[in-house]
């Protein structure tokens, strides 16, 4: 079956839903940071804030992959 580990997917699903909520917060932070960095490009902290937001957006996929990797076949 290769990399098919449905148990890891099912166990990680509630945590991925929680991470999805964090990613929605990340989207809002990214939008605000992008607008601020366009208005005032001298704000270096906005670039770091945007990078943090992008990491939050990618969080649900990382959580599911981590759980799938933890469950042996």
The pLDDT assigned to 1 comes to 46
pLDDT of 35 strictly over 50: yes
SS3 42: coil
Residue 49 pLDDT grade (very low, low, confident, very high; cuts 50, 70, 90): confident
Mean pLDDT of 24-50: 78
* Exposure letters 57-66 (e unless 16+ CB within 10 A, then b): bebbeebbee
Give the model's confidence band at 30: pLDDT under 50 very low, under 70 low, under 90 confident, else very high: confident
What pLDDT sits at residue 5? 65
């Amino acid at each position: 079956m290769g990399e098919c580990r449905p148990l890891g997917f099912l166990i990680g699903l509630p945590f991925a839903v929680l991470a999805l909520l964090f990613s929605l917060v990340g989207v809002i932070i990214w939008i605000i940071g992008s607008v601020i960095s366009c208005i005032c490009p001298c704000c270096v902290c906005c670039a770091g804030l945007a990078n943090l937001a992008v990491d939050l957006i990618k969080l649900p996929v990382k959580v599911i992959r981590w759980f799938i990797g933890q469950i042996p076949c």
